[in-house]
Structures are given as structure tokens and as C-alpha cells.
């Protein structure tokens, strides 16, 4: 039997601080979304759908993207569908498959909630410590994601897609003279594909840019909590 490598006092302190901090962070971010009638989980679902071609994903793909069980996601989507934020449709090629699709009301809600959520993420997470500590945190969780799970699979990384920051885009615009067409062209890389009606969603591109900034830190918090649960189970078993 392999000898147990018990945590040192310093390692215990860091580990327990992480567990408490991750739980506290998620609670604060969740609280910040309550005025908009959203949970952090629902916000992440809206962002994932917004970033997907046609603003939709198969339910199985969405479950992987937001790191949830199929049953839990089905329950959440049912609640969101009743609120008019998403809708489910049958996949044409595979009638057993189901799409989860973002509605215009869902996109508009995300547009309203994103600025406040970004401010909350920045206050409680990004700006809470020194810049070098924040960068080190990113390296730590990159390393966590590089370690295979016990079953040999790897953690999904689709949540780690990084989009240009709206602030950075604004700075670039200020430094250039011809901004009429250039910015619109650049934005198409992350713009949404038209839906079946041929409409692109009006304000959706702006929503996409705002939501991307929030997603970068919010998803890191979700990954942190998931890693905490797995590692806690491993150290107590």
C-alpha cells in the first residue's frame, strides 16, 4: 500500500483557504446576479448558448460545456424555458437529439446583467490580489486541468475560449483613424451566425462581447469549485 503523503501545515492552510475562498466567491457572484433573476449557473448557460453558432447547442454538448450532469441541466433548462430565456427544439437530423436555443429575451437579459456581473467578478476576484498572484492562479489551474481524471479522461476545455476584451477593442479604436469598417470586420470573428429567419439578433453582437469578458473569470471560478470538490473527495477518502 502506498504511503500517504499528508499535507504540511502550510499546504493545509493554502488548501483550506482555497476551499473557503472558492465557495465564498461563487456565493458572491451568485448574489450579484439575483437582481436580474439569474443564478450563476443560469448565467453561464446563457453565455455558452450566446457564443455558439446559431445561439444553440445540443443538450448533451451544453451539459459538457457547463460541466453539469444531464439531469441537472434538464431541470435548469426547464425552469429557464418557462421564463422565456431559452427554448428546446428537436434536432432535424436526429429526432432523439434536442437543441437548447437562446431566445431574444434571454439575450436581452444577458445584455442587461453582463456589466454588473463583470464588475462583481473584477471586484471579488480579478482585483482582489496583486496582478502577479492572479497570473499565478491561472497557471495553477492550467496545471490542474492538465492532470488526467481517475478514469483517464481530461477535463473539458471549451469554457476556456478567450475572446478579445471589449475594453481592449475600445482602446484599439481610439488609436486608429478609420474605424467605420475595420471594427465591424474584426467583430465578425466572434459574431453569431444568423438564425433560420436570417436575422442576426440586433444587439446580440454587443452582448457577446460583454458576456465574454465576464465568462473568462466566472468560468475559472466554476472550474475551481469543481476541482475543489474532486480534490476534497480524494484527500478525505
Any domain includes 3: no
154 domain residue, yes or no: no
Position 22 pLDDT exceeds 80: yes
155: three-class secondary structure by DSSP: coil
Q: What is the mean pLDDT of residues 69-91?
A: 96
Q: How far apart are CA 31 and CA 4, in angstroms?
A: 39
Q: Which helix (H) or strand (E) holds 110?
A: helix 104-121
> Which CATH number goes with the domain that contains 27?
1.10.10.10
Each residue of 87-136: pLDDT tens digit? Answer: 999 987 776 789 999 999 999 999 999 999 999 999 999 999 999 999 99
The dihedral over CA atoms of 165, 170, 135, 124, expressed in degrees to the nearest 10, equals -80
Q: Residue 193 contacts by C-beta under 8 Å, 6 or more apart in sequence?
A: 53, 54
Residue-wise pLDDT tens digits, 150-199: 999 888 776 666 666 766 555 444 444 444 444 443 333 333 333 333 33
Q: What is the pLDDT of residue 222?
A: 52
Q: What is the H or E stretch that residue 221 is in? A: helix 204-236
In a domain, 155, yes or no: no
Count: domains in the chain: 1
Q: Which domain holds residue 85?
A: 12-146+199-231
Mean pLDDT (the chain, rounded) = 78
> Is residue 66 a part of any domain in this protein?
yes
Amino acid at each position: 500500500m502506498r504511503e500517504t503523503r499528508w499535507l504540511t501545515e502550510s499546504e493545509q492552510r493554502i488548501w483550506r483557504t482555497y476551499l473557503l475562498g472558492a465557495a465564498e466567491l461563487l456565493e458572491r457572484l451568485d448574489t450579484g446576479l439575483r437582481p436580474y433573476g439569474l443564478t450563476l449557473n443560469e448565467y453561464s448557460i446563457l453565455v455558452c448558448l450566446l457564443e455558439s453558432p446559431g445561439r444553440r447547442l445540443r443538450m448533451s454538448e451544453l451539459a459538457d460545456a457547463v460541466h453539469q450532469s444531464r439531469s441537472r441541466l434538464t431541470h435548469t433548462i426547464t425552469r429557464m424555458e418557462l421564463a422565456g430565456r431559452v427554448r428546446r427544439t428537436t434536432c432535424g437530423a436526429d429526432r432523439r437529439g434536442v437543441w437548447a436555443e437562446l431566445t431574444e429575451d434571454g439575450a436581452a437579459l444577458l445584455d442587461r446583467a453582463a456589466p454588473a456581473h463583470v464588475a462583481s467578478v473584477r471586484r471579488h476576484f480579478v482585483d482582489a490580489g496583486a496582478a502577479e498572484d492572479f497570473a499565478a492562479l491561472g497557471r495553477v489551474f492550467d496545471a490542474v486541468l492538465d492532470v488526467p481524471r481517475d478514469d483517464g479522461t481530461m477535463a473539458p476545455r471549451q469554457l476556456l475560449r478567450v475572446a478579445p476584451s471589449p475594453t481592449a477593442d475600445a482602446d484599439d479604436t481610439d488609436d486608429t483613424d478609420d474605424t467605420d469598417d475595420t471594427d465591424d470586420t474584426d467583430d465578425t470573428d466572434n459574431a453569431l451566425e444568423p438564425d433560420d429567419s436570417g436575422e442576426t439578433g440586433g444587439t446580440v453582437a454587443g452582448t457577446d462581447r460583454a458576456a465574454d469578458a465576464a465568462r473568462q473569470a466566472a468560468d475559472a471560478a466554476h472550474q475551481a469549485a469543481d476541482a475543489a470538490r474532486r480534490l476534497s473527495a480524494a484527500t478525505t477518502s
